[in-house]
Amino acid sequence: MPPFHLRLPATLESVSELLDALEAYAEATELSPAIAARLALIAEEVAANVAMHATGASFFALQVTPMPAGLGLCIEDDGPEYDPLARIAPDTAAELEERDVGGLGVHLMRELTRDARYERAAGLNRLVCLLPL
């Protein structure tokens, strides 16, 4: 299975382009529908957060690297420093009207991946994780 890499402007329109490219990659590499859906969900959440909240970001990039244990994901952007993993996990047991707005995308990413880590290097936010197969 070949790797995947795409760098796009940090806009909401680019999120759709990313999802279309991931769908084509999933079909070409014969990823299972369940893995393809998880990959798309993680990519959409992170890319949309960059597009909507990373003031000044000019791009986001996604790299998918096939590994024996799953798909290695590396998501980068050049927005202000932000560690999504430092965010407190939402209380999913609380009543809906008592919950804080936001945070579910990061929560889903944590639930669907393993070994997630964040680093800030050379002016870039880099989120790396493993999507188990």
Range with lowest mean pLDDT among 19-28, 46-55, 82-91, 115-124? 82-91
pLDDT of amino acid 63: 98
100 has pLDDT over 90: no
Q: Is a pLDDT exceeding 90 seen at residue 56?
A: yes
pLDDT (tens digit, 9 = 90+) per residue, 69-94? Answer: 999 999 999 999 999 889 776 555 65
Give the Cα separation of 84 and 71 in Å (integer): 20
Cα separation, 51 vs 16, whole angstroms:
11
User: What does the alpha-carbon distance between residue 83 and residue 28 come to, in Å, rounded to a whole number?
Assistant: 33
Does the 4-132 domain belong in CATH 3.50.50.60? no
Phi, psi of 20 (to 5 degrees): -65, -45
Q: Which residue matches tokens 């393993």?
A: 114
Helix (H) or strand (E) holding 131: strand 124-132
Give the DSSP letter of residue 32.
-
CA 131/CA 109 separation, integer angstroms: 9
At 107 the three-state DSSP class reads: helix
Q: Is the pLDDT score of 110 beyond 90? A: no
Roughly what angle, to the nearest 10 degrees, separates helices 33-53 and 12-29? Answer: 160
Q: What is the average pLDDT across 91-119?
A: 73
Whether 97 shows a pLDDT value over 70: the answer reads no
Q: Where are the domains of the chain?
A: 4-132
d(CA 12, CA 38): 19
